[in-house]
């Protein structure tokens, strides 16, 4: 699934950062190992002390996190107008997101915008805007998807 959106980066997901330098795109994760130029912050208020150590890592351009839940991976850079292109992969019962236009205080999902990445099976009572493709609790995606079959969610 290719999606174009804005950035800060969030939790529990695998992202393939796409670089097309001939088109002016810049890789967000250009070296293997811990992401350089990124910080890990607490889930509910990113202005608090850094989150417990996290195992975010990059390998061959793919960003993954370790088993620790409840943190945001945030860019140390500020971005103006931009395009973020990435692919996501989430397993059954997965729950994650990408924070967009989030400030460096408060909860990015509510004080900014969160592009939601969450399997329907994680919360079968979720609103459409609380599932993959929605702007969390604001705008529902045109089509809801289930991670295990990538089908439209039952209504």
Length of the chain: 155
Establish if 128 belongs to a structural domain: no
Q: Is residue 93 part of a domain?
A: yes
Burial per residue of 17-55, b for 16 or more beta-carbon CB atoms within 10 angstroms, e otherwise: bbeeeeeeeeebbeeeeebeebbbbbbeebeeeebeebe
Handedness of CA 38, 42, 44, 46 (dihedral sign): negative
Residue 87 covered by a domain: yes
Could you tell me if residue 129 is inside a domain?
no
Q: 76 pLDDT band (50/70/90 cuts)?
A: confident
Mean predicted lDDT score pLDDT of the chain:
76
Whether residue 136 lies inside any domain: the answer is no
Q: Is it the case that residue 153 has pLDDT exceeding 60?
A: no
Is 153 a member of any domain?
no
The span from the CA of 85 to the CA of 2, in Å, is 7
Please check whether residue 15 is in contact with residue 62, taking contact to mean a CB–CB distance below 8 angstroms: yes
Residue 137 forms part of a structural domain: no
19 lies in which domain range? 2-118
In a domain, 143, yes or no: no
Q: What is the pTM of this model?
A: 0.72
How would residue 9 be classed by pLDDT, with cut points 50, 70 and 90? very low
The domain total for the chain is 1
């Amino acid at each position: 699934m290719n999606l174009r959106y804005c950035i800060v980066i969030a939790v529990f997901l695998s992202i393939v950062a796409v670089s097309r330098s001939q088109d002016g795109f810049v890789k967000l994760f250009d070296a293997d190992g811990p992401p350089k130029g990124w910080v890990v912050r607490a889930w509910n208020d990113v202005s608090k002390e850094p989150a417990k150590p996290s195992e975010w890592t990059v390998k061959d351009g793919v960003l993954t996190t370790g088993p620790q839940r409840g943190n945001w991976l945030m860019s140390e850079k500020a971005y103006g107008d931009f395009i973020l292109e990435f692919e996501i992969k989430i397993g059954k019962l997965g729950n994650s997101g990408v924070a967009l236009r989030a400030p460096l205080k408060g909860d990015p999902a509510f004080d900014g915008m969160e592009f939601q990445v969450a399997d329907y099976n994680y919360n079968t009572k979720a609103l459409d805007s609380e599932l993959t493709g929605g702007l969390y609790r604001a705008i529902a995606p045109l089509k809801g998807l289930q991670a295990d079959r990538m089908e439209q969610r039952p209504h």
